[in-house]
Amino acid sequence: MATTTGLATLLFGLLPVFQADAPTTVPANGEAQQHGDEALPVALAEEATQAIARFVVPDGFRVELFAAEPLMAHPVAFTFDVFGRAYVAETFRHHKGVTDMREHMGWLEDDIAIKTVEQRVAMFRKHEGDKKLAEGYGVETERVTRVEDRDGDGVAETATPFAEGFTDLAAGIGAGILTRPLDGDGATEAWYTCIPDVWRLTDGDNDGLAEGRDRHTTGYGLRVALLGHDLHGPIVGPDGRIYFSCGDRGFNVTSAEGQRLVRYGTGAVFSCELDGSDLQLYCDGLRNPQEIVFDDHGNLFTLDNNSDSGDKARWTYLLRGSDSGWRQAYQWANEPTPRGPWNSEGMWKPFHEAQPAFIVPPIANFTSGPSGMTLYPGTGFGEEWRGKFFVCDFRGNPGYSGIYAFDQTADGAGFAFGESERFVWDALPTDVEFGIDGNLYWSDWVTGWNQTGKGRLYRAVPEERDEAELAAIEETRSALLALAHEGGGGNGTAAGSSASRAAASGYSDAELVELLSHRDRRVRQEAQLAVSHRALAALDLDKGETRLAGVLLRAKTPSADARERTARLHAIWALGHAARRSPKLGERLIAPLGELFGDADPEIVAQVARLFGDLRWGPPEGVLLPLLSRSEPRVQLLAAEAMGGLAPAPESTAALVQLLERTGHEDPWLRHAAIHSLERLGDKG
């Protein structure tokens, strides 16, 4: 059990009213907190409410306070579960167990030689000594706190220490949190990223305390490098996998299947199945991707941070196998130019001919301190906000920090940056998410870079909503709660034992398929996972195939309606997920899915090509190679990507080389897809 943080001035739960002139914080060990169903008798800080007058938001919006100290402190990231409860990743090890190499430049040569987490701890011991190591690195804990509004007045009054005790000498800042329902009665699992570990935390009895703590993988964050370059942003992707990112401190990880994933000085994105199996390296060459986000077509993006040497942060389209060019050693390069080739070759700039050809350059340079990020899910703000991304720009001072909203458009096989606006300003946000109430929430660090004992959750609320929008919010909330009864909407942790849960949500298979066209992406995704889960949970293979019949029909039904097109994409992803987890079921889907190569919608063709490559299915003869010559760059991109997953053949190599010759000098995304597939095919040969 960790000791009480030195930041605490009064025990949590013992102060009935917070005085603005006498800051109070939550003890890091949480022992003084009241657990279970007992509400905490803590009034919100007057200072936190008064700060609202400072925030600048667009016309038609207002700001409200949801939670403040002493319910929480030092929020790095947060998320909501389907019951509207916030899970906040708080740091107490920031500069109290997690340090920065810029404060220990005498250690630099040792640091860049590190190849394991254990070697980092040995370096601490070498330079600090046993006593200082124990007292300075092994006392404070990171924590996940569940914050909730139990009385329904819109303001949180209850906090429970969901998980703590992360005091290992190698532990970093807990910087990422994802929750999944285990059932519809409040049982929850949380994926928590805290260097050097990815944790799966489970609260099966819904008391707000994670009684289950499983270390998924370990070995992230080899070097000290820079403070804040952590494990971040776990998110469920459209393919039914969990994705998360790592900063440039490197990693040396062995998966449960025995696969070793190693990079000593660069950041990366990983993926694994919902049950934690099959960990894979998705892409690398990143510096500090604090959040990753998928758009409605399944494309993955991040805003990667700059290195404070004239370079700028980068809005980047992340492709499988892509290398964005950053190496942590560049941080220390001063000769012949600061940051070495990163600056001299303009590797951080959008595509230009002088860049090295091995990198995938950013779409645009944007923001100065990107941290949390999200995409409008489809309900709460109205249709005019569809496709809008929201990103926190954290710069240590609320006067020039806040949240931007922006969009983008297709450009070749990639994207062009669209329009941006300041959505919230004069705040100091670390993370941003939409709640199930349709409002945009952000976690506020309050001031500065260091621990202050403060931390808040605010929300931006439209001043007016019409009846249709209010109805959509309520329907979304009801659907997400119902889908929670599916055992996590396709969690995959116990598929074989979940057959009895089929239709537990009250939705029939056909109704789940209808939800694939729902206005809110969160409902679409949960319905997609639920229908795949039902098929996988069926003990009889024929019944599993029958459960997917409606999904397959939805995938095959053409439509000019945008919502129906989106439903077709979710149907394809649901079928791919089921096929990946059950090869026998997948064998029955190869032929009917192969028919979609002839679809009139280029996006459907592209998505099916990606699915065949992901599953390593040989497509119908003579189908895939012609896609590389299609007029649509999007089709060319995903077809080229798919070819790397198939068996090598001379004609495949020749077609990819021809694609490179035609497009490689002008489209970096096509260039990468072709080169990466040639590399994969060569490895197989």
Tens digit of each residue's pLDDT (9 = 90 or more) over 628-673: 999 999 999 999 999 999 988 899 999 999 999 999 899 999 999 9
Please report the pLDDT score of residue 345 as a whole number.
Answer: 96
Q: What is the pTM of this model?
A: 0.93
Give strand pairing partners of 62: 461
Q: Percentage of residues in the chain with pLDDT exceeding 70?
A: 91
Mean pLDDT value across residues 35-60: 74
Give CA separation, 249 vs 114, 122, 220, 327, 586, in Å.
Answer: 10, 16, 8, 10, 39
Rounded CA separation 525/242 (Å): 13
d(CA 23, CA 10) in angstroms, rounded, equals: 9
Cα–Cα distance measured from residue 498 to residue 506, given in angstroms and rounded to the nearest whole number: 15
The CA distance from 577 to 178, in Å, is: 20
Is the Cβ–Cβ distance between 178 and 242 less than 8 Å? Answer: yes
Inform me whether the pLDDT recorded for 463 exceeds 60.
Answer: yes
pLDDT of 3 > 70? The answer is no
* 610 φ, ψ (degrees, to nearest 5): -60, -40
Angle CA 201–203–207, to nearest 5? 140
Q: What is the predicted pLDDT for the residue at 45?
A: 72
Residues 6+ apart with CB under 8 A from 275: 491, 492, 493
pLDDT per residue over 325-358, tens digit each?
999 999 999 988 999 999 999 999 999 999 999 9
The DSSP bridge partners found for residue 560 are none
What kind and span of H or E run contains 179? strand 174-181
pLDDT tens profile 49-76: 999 999 999 999 999 999 999 999 999 9
Neighbour tally for 10: CB within 10 Å = 15
- Looking at per-residue pLDDT, the higher value among 47 and 116 belongs to 116
What is residue 574's predicted lDDT score, i.e. its pLDDT? Answer: 98
pLDDT tens-digit map of 606-622? 999 999 999 999 888 88
Predicted confidence (pLDDT) per residue in 90-103, tens digit:
999 999 999 999 99
d(CA 492, CA 489): 9
Q: Calculate what percentage of the chain has a pLDDT beyond 90.
A: 86
User: Contact 445/455 with Cβ under 8 angstroms?
Assistant: yes
In this predicted model, what pLDDT tens digit does every residue of 486-516 receive, in sequence order? 875 444 443 333 333 445 778 999 999 999 9
- State the chain's mean pLDDT as an integer: 90
Residue 478 has which token pair?
């009801």
pLDDT at residue number 46? 85
Closest CA to 246 of 279, 202, 276, 214: 279
Q: Is the four-CA dihedral 193, 194, 197, 202 of positive or negative sign?
A: negative
Q: Are 482 and 507 in contact (CB under 8 A)?
A: yes
Instruction: Report residue 539's pLDDT band, with 50, 70 and 90 as the boundaries.
Output: confident
Residue 5, C-beta contacts closer than 8 angstroms, at least 6 positions apart: 25, 27, 28, 29, 92, 96, 140
Q: What is the mean pLDDT of residues 268-272?
A: 98
Q: What is the pLDDT of residue 150?
A: 94
Give me 613's structure tokens: 């490559």
In this prediction, residues 534-539 reach a mean pLDDT of 92
Q: Residue 79 corresponds to which tokens in the numbers above?
A: 């998320």
User: For residue 43, what pLDDT is reported?
Assistant: 57
The answer, yes or no, to whether residue 17 has pLDDT greater than 80, is no
Query: Does pLDDT of 33 surpass 80?
Result: no
Determine whether 557 is exposed, middle or buried from the number of CB atoms within 10 Å of its CB (0-12, 13-18, 19+). Answer: exposed
> Is residue 32 pLDDT above 50, yes or no?
no
Cα separation, 72 vs 146, whole angstroms = 9
CB 631 within 8 A of CB 663: no
At 531, list the tokens: 């229908």
Q: Is the pLDDT of residue 6 over 80?
A: no
In which band, very low, low, confident or very high, does the pLDDT at 44 lie, cut at 50, 70 and 90?
A: low
**Could you count the other beta carbons within 10 Å of the beta carbon of residue 109?**
8
How far, CA to CA in Å, does 169 sit from each of 119, 133, 165, 166? 12, 8, 12, 9
**3-class DSSP state of 209:** coil
Round to whole Å and give the CA distance between 319 and 414: 10
| pLDDT tens digits for range 362-401 | 999 999 999 999 999 999 999 999 999 999 999 999 999 9
SS3 assignment, position 546: helix
CB-CB contact of 455 with 502 (8 Å): no
Rounded to whole angstroms, the Cα distance separating 361 from 660 reads 17
Task: Give the span between the Cα atoms of 418 and 259, in whole angstroms.
Answer: 40
